[in-house]
Amino acid sequence: MSLKEEFVDLAKACGADLVGVAPVSRFAADDPVFKLLPSARSVIGIAFRILRGTYRGTEEGTTFYQYTTMAVENMEETVMPIALLRLSNFLEEKGFTASPQRRNQTIRQEEGGTNPEVAYDAISRGRRAENRMDFEAAAVKCGLGELGFHGALLTDDFGPFVRYVFILTDAELEADPIVAPHLCDRCGECARGCPGHAIDAATGRRDDWRCAAYYIGANGLKNPFMPPDAFKDFPDRLKIIAGEAEIDEERAKKIIDNIWFYPPAQHSYPCSICGRACDTACYRHLEAKGALKRKFARPFRSRAEWKFNLSDFEPNGGSNVL
Ligand code: SF4
Ligand code: SF4
């Protein structure tokens, strides 16, 4: 059994679903990979499925905690780090250096940006992440999948329902081919699916501050916990609730500070009320096309999408509280 076969077997035993290896020749000479481990010979991408069932509560409009805890917090803070450590130990036991790389969720990835998955006041206000790997680009170089229009990694098995980590190592493992893009057809469903219009319909670029506000439920039409008088001191409150307000960083912070309708998870992860509607829209599209390898007994969405009315938030409007 080759070193790679042993590694893949252990990765699967650690709960990983996909493993892809890129030789460092696929990375430019100034790539942070070489600052993190100058002797690196291989970059190993390890992807874990996000259970379809974790999106179910949002899809049903019933519980919103499970996606955040089981698909974000536990995967980022427990499942993937434990697997990374075991897999890195395995490589070092074989005499190779192994440098585990997980996302640093509380450091700005871009100047002026934020991470919508984490409370903005828990994110370092200092310099942005230096020498960080570009996770999306590295995942493609490792052959895990392709990048979709909205920037998410799309995989044949799970569509956008994956999270991933890396190990840099001086072991030379057999490379996997880069996947020729074939899943994303630029249908635009991801942009249309966002309740906050945070994804530019022309470029696919995500406005992270806009996303941060709508990720935690600024759109009242998709938030069963928002009281009818929400944002009562905001002159454009109905535009915010409809997902159509003008929002920059300062505005996003004010809006976020007025969203307290649902408790956060631990590790500064606010609860996702949008339930990653961009990804679920993409998933439904890929599923309907028959493009995904993993088949299920029932389609992800089997009835019309639930939604409240804007009039519920107008003075003397109906109540949307469940
Ligand atoms: S929803 Fe359509 S455009 Fe967006 S990433 Fe998926 S396939 Fe591409
Ligand atoms: S659907 Fe949610 S995660 Fe996706 S861009 Fe919109 S607010 Fe952000």
Answer yes or no: do 164 and 199 share one domain. no
Q: What is the pLDDT of residues 10-36, one digit of tens each?
A: 999 999 999 999 999 999 999 999 999
End-to-end CA distance of the chain: 57
Positive or negative: CA dihedral 112, 118, 121, 124: negative
Q: What is the pLDDT of residues 226-276, one digit of tens each?
A: 999 999 999 999 999 999 999 999 999 999 999 988 888 888 999 999 999
Supply the pLDDT for residue 315. 80
160 CB near ligand 2 (under 6 Å): no
181 in a structural domain: no
Look at residue 111 and tell me whether its pLDDT is greater than 80.
Answer: no
More confident residue, 257 or 321: 257
Answer yes or no: do 31 and 95 share one domain. yes
> What's the 150 CA to ligand 1 centre distance in angstroms?
7
Domain boundary among 140, 169, 198: 169
148 CB near ligand 1 (under 6 Å): yes
Q: What is the pLDDT of residues 143-162, one digit of tens each?
A: 999 999 999 999 999 999 99
Answer yes or no: do 134 and 9 share one domain. yes
Answer yes or no: do 131 and 276 share one domain. no
| 44: nearest Cα among 20, 80, 18, 76 | 20
Domain boundary among 106, 137, 169: 169
Answer yes or no: do 208 and 162 share one domain. no
pLDDT, mean of residues 296-307: 95
225 in a structural domain: yes
Atom of ligand 2 nearest to the CA of 116: 8
Pairing verdict, β 153-154 and 162-169: unpaired
Supply the pLDDT for residue 129. 62
16 in a structural domain: yes
Domain range for residue 225? 189-313
Answer yes or no: do 160 and 205 share one domain. no
Helical axes 208-215 vs 249-257, angle rounded to 10°: 10
Q: What is the pLDDT of residues 32-51, one digit of tens each?
A: 999 999 999 999 999 999 99
| Number of separate domains in the chain | 2
Do residues 107 and 117 lie in contact, with contact meaning Cβ atoms separated by under 8 Å? no
Domain boundary among 114, 140, 169: 169
Atom of ligand 2 nearest to the CA of 206: 5
- Rounded CA separation 322/318 (Å): 12
Whole-structure pTM value: 0.95
- Rounded CA separation 143/157 (Å): 13
Percent of the chain having pLDDT more than 70? 96
Supply the pLDDT for residue 16. 98
> What's the 204 CA to ligand 1 centre distance in angstroms?
9
What confidence tier does 321 reach under pLDDT thresholds 50, 70, 90? very low
> What's the 277 CA to ligand 1 centre distance in angstroms?
12
36 in a structural domain: yes
Look at residue 171 and tell me whether its pLDDT is greater than 60.
Answer: yes
Ligand nearest to the CA of 194: 2
Answer yes or no: do 26 and 146 share one domain. yes
Supply the pLDDT for residue 322. 41
Q: Which two tokens stand for residue 112?
A: 């002026």
Ligand 1: residue whose CA is nearest its atom 1: 282
Answer yes or no: do 151 and 113 share one domain. yes
Answer yes or no: do 302 and 263 share one domain. yes
50 in a structural domain: yes
174 in a structural domain: no
pLDDT, mean of residues 118-122: 89
Q: How many residues does the chain have?
A: 322
Please provide the average confidence, as pLDDT, over all residues in the chain.
94
Look at residue 89 and tell me whether its pLDDT is greater than 60.
Answer: yes
What confidence tier does 197 reach under pLDDT thresholds 50, 70, 90? very high
Atom of ligand 1 nearest to the CA of 154: 5
Q: What is the pLDDT of residues 94-107, one digit of tens each?
A: 999 999 999 988 87
Which of 146, 184, 192, 206 to probe ligand 1 with, by most ligand atoms within 8 A of CB? Answer: 184
Q: Which two tokens stand for residue 241?
A: 């609730």
Do residues 168 and 91 lie in contact, with contact meaning Cβ atoms separated by under 8 Å? no
- Rounded CA separation 83/210 (Å): 33
Ligand nearest to the CA of 204: 1
